Amino acid sequence: MWMTFKSTCARELLLSSRKRGELLNPLVFFFAIMLLFPVAVSADPELLGKIAPGVVWIAVLLSLMLSLDSMFRDDFQDGFLEQMLISKDSLVIAVFAKILCHWLVTGLPLVLISPVIAIMLSLPVSAIAVMMLGLLFGTIWFSFVGAIPAALTVGLRKGGLLLTILVLPMMIPMLSFGAMLVRQQINDEVILPTLMLCVGMSLLSMMLAPFMAAISLRISLSE
């Protein structure tokens, strides 16, 4: 199991390093939303500070959705997924490694640059660390849960629209709790219950999503 995980991670990170242009797309999209939002709404710091939590979380979600469709599609097109299915190695471990690498190269960079965006949107300094912590667990949920519909639609020629329809309802719980976490910190409310809920949801997704994504891959490739 460890060798399967290690080899899959090494392969995914190597392929990602060769597609730097694709890796930059979510970051560029994220920055574009954050730069244009104050222009379209208002440059008032007080107003921006109030709506910043929801805006940042929505922008992170939309940015990550850009890369969900390619999580398994490239491997499907070059036949690597078929090799994964017939291999004696654990498919669940391989899928877990692929999702984890997807988060490392897409979700984690968004978390790391979020403080810059928070300052741009006049978010209180006291809430920046909480926002990063919430995004850390939120992006894990987005990647792992998003892998399930990505695996289910991998065999479809135009599965991007269906993927979006399937993904959005699954993201709403974490989106709501993540934005609530930041607002609670701004209002000096107790954040521990909401934070623990976000942590629990992300850990649950890491445990269950690889199994469900592996089943979805088998269903997609059996058709």
Looking at residue 218, the DSSP 8-state letter turns out to be H
pLDDT confidence of residue 100: 93
pLDDT confidence bin for 104, thresholds 50/70/90: very high
Domain range summary for the chain, segments of one domain joined by +: 2-222
pTM for the model stands at 0.90
Given a contact cutoff of 8 angstroms between Cβ atoms, the answer to whether 168 and 188 are in contact is no
d(CA 197, CA 207): 15
Q: Higher-confidence residue: 148 or 20? A: 148
Q: What pLDDT sits at residue 163?
A: 80
- Exposed e or buried b per residue across 185-200, where buried means at least 16 C-beta atoms within 10 angstroms of its C-beta: bbeeeebeebbebbee
Quote the CA–CA distance of 38 and 48 in Å, as a whole number: 7
pLDDT in tens, 26-37: 888 888 888 888
| Nearest partner of 89 among 5, 164, 19, judged by Cα | 5
Q: Is the pLDDT of residue 44 over 80?
A: no
* C-beta of residue 213 within 8 angstroms of C-beta of residue 84: no
Higher pLDDT, 137 or 117: 137
